[in-house]
Amino acid sequence: QGWNIEYLYRLLRTVADADIVHEIISNETIEPEKTNCFELTEDGRFLTSVHPSKARYLICWELSPLLKTASHYLPDLIREGSSKGTGIQRIINNESIFDFLKKEENKKMAHNFNEAMTSLSSYNSQYIVNSVDFGRFNTIVDIGGGLGSLLSHILEKYLNLSKEYIPLNNLFSQTIKTKHDNRISTITTDINISNELNSNGVETILYRIYIKI
């Protein structure tokens, strides 16, 4: 109810051309727009909110008005450099992107950002875990590790590690923490603690989230 069937059908036919949905053809009527159905293709399911890849949120973040507007500053950045801030910083008046996302009115944008970073982390984690021998470490401190996707992959592969893993942020996924409860402790602290931890022989994995201009 509330949808124009004719135009909705045309829209779905267009989306079908992009292989997001597939039309189920009916030969029982001369008015297919009234009876035909559509189903998601494999690519279409990839974009749903429940898909484990979280690719939907990565696309939502990359195509967000904030990033699209920020890209307009690219010519200025090429001419002047970043002395006046990146494209995003100029839009939000040089405010920290994280302080900006904490605001109540940006709650949805913050959700998309967090899930997008998780999507990237999940994709890259398999290569990192398979390339680095984490078994030689006793304790790993993950600074700014988002929801803890990489740490979860490390813990799943190195089951023999029993020492404490400490993500230094307050976003850490409760689901992952519960899964590895006896091996994870979370604290919130200043990132400058990394120098002290290194001096004590603790291996530190530093993350930097690069925001596109």
Distance, in Å, from the CA atom of 202 to the CA atom of 38, rounded to the nearest integer, reads 54
> What are the domain boundaries of the chain?
5-46, 133-206
Burial of 47 (0-12, 13-18, 19+ CB in 10 A): middle
Q: What is the pLDDT of residue 208?
A: 34
- Quick: pLDDT tens for 6-49: 888 899 999 999 999 998 876 655 555 556 788 899 999 999 99
Distance CA 155, CA 151 (A): 6
d(CA 54, CA 59): 9
pTM over 0.85: no
Pick among 3.40.30.10, 3.30.70.141, 3.40.50.880, 3.40.50.150: CATH of 133-206: 3.40.50.150
